[in-house]
Structure 1
């Protein structure tokens, strides 16, 4: 990777772009993932490339949801695996969640590459390779899941936009925590907890909140969940983006 000076004004953005490029070279990320990364960067630019207060509140609520779940699962696609593998492993350790590979452009080779990549970064177990169940209502490979993974989960963290699966999981009665930089996307609109933030900030921040809440009483976690206002969070993010578009953010 080209050496990027620490003081470069686009340092963090350029680093994430190179991670996605490396993911494509390693057979982890699909080429379509390059386009998705660029789209996300555009929204992040309008958000000011920072975690806004409403997103931080959503991340804390997501941490509480994961900690109180009976079977929490973190869904992993190629972009997320390339961008934040260490952070995913840390989140799983902090919350007791399973990591499960789930792909739109699915091949068995790519699933295994992602699973191996996560193991190389410290994951003790990765689901998604058995593919012995399907999410109802989907006709593409996002429907392919493990029966003891996403299919069985009560709380699912979906880090990155995935509109039709988000709706299908909601139909199954699952609590969805969605990281998506576009508050108007189907994913964010379907989520119980929409997290309008960049995944490279959101995943570590959820982990930090989970570590803090792990010492709290169950009542405190439940209060955190009940006090979160999803509509207010979506509205705040949209207002921030529109302000950025008009030069106000």
Structure 2
């Protein structure tokens, strides 16, 4: 057993863990993501509750087969289309999103022209600044929501309700990620289009979103950028006009059911 003493930096701890987990380990990427979140908690970016949310998401990702399934791709295409049609799009970032996909957030922002804003339930200025600094380290040019969260989303009394007047408050389209049901409902209620990335298809986030994306945050952001770059504005209008969020959720649940039935039959066949 390797002992990591208090004199070893958090960065060194992560590098050590990366070395301990062999390239051949079938769960390597998943384990490294967990380590990044733990390091993020040590750095004040992630809260303990975020670790619980990630574990819940991992469970659903297992059910999906850890891939972007067809209903997710359909929703990601619609999310990309809205970036073409929106006048003031904003990408909302919390601690988990920043740790797992800061680079993808910045790349999507650069591609689409969308603003980036920090928004948190467990909010302190120190935590908001730590998240913004992480985004800046990955190339962000501007991050709202640190010192300018002076407006409030109507009907949302938690710290989630504090937003930048030049960001989410003004936005006509908001892309947000990972377990954010109360704000999704509040934003939709005041007429904003909300694309929500959440691996749980039965969460309030997924059920309330204008565009529910049941996928891993990194896969989803990468797919949205790819669709955006290959789509014309005319095609974007057609995609949005034909998009049905309820059908996407229903198709996702049916996909999970069918996959589980297939796995169960295979297990029974192997046993025989």
- Normalised by the length of structure 2, the TM-score is 0.87
Q: Which residue of 2 aligns with 1:81?
A: 98
Structure 1: gaps spanning 5 or more residues: none
1:243 CA drift (Å): 3.6
Q: List structure 1 segments (4+ residues) > 6 angstroms apart after TM superposition.
A: none
For residues 237 and 23 of structure 2, what CA distance do their matches in structure 1 show? 41
1:118-154 deviation per Cα after TM superposition (whole angstroms, max 9, x unaligned) = 0111000001121110011112100011111101000
Q: Which residue of 2 aligns with 1:158?
A: 176
Q: Which residue of 2 aligns with 1:236?
A: 251
1:241 CA drift (Å): 2.5
Q: Does 1:30 align with 2:70?
A: no
For residues 225 and 25 of structure 2, what CA distance do their matches in structure 1 show? 28
Which structure has the bigger radius of gyration? 2
CA distance 1:21–1:244, shift in 2 (3 Å): farther
Work out which of the residue numbers 19, 39, 42 in structure 1 matches 2:36.
Answer: 19
Work out which of the residue numbers 235, 239, 244 in structure 2 matches 1:224.
Answer: 239
1:158-188 deviation per Cα after TM superposition (whole angstroms, max 9, x unaligned) = 1111111111001110000010111111111
For residues 210 and 159 of structure 2, what CA distance do their matches in structure 1 show? 24
For residues 79 and 144 of structure 1, what CA distance do their matches in structure 2 show? 19
Structure 2: gaps spanning 5 or more residues: 1-13, 265-272
How is 1:7-156 mapped onto 2 (pairs within 5 angstroms)? 7-129=24-146, 130-156=148-174
CA RMSD of aligned residues (A): 1.3
1:246 CA drift (Å): 4.6
For residues 210 and 19 of structure 1, what CA distance do their matches in structure 2 show? 28
Q: Which residue of 2 aligns with 1:198?
A: 216
For residues 159 and 69 of structure 1, what CA distance do their matches in structure 2 show? 18
1:186-243 deviation per Cα after TM superposition (whole angstroms, max 9, x unaligned) = 1111111100101121111111111112xx2x21110111122212210111122234
SS at the partner of 1:150?
coil
For residues 230 and 248 of structure 1, what CA distance do their matches in structure 2 show? 27
SS at the partner of 1:161?
coil
Q: How many residues are paired up? A: 246
User: 8 Å contact 1:64–1:224 — kept in the other structure?
Assistant: yes
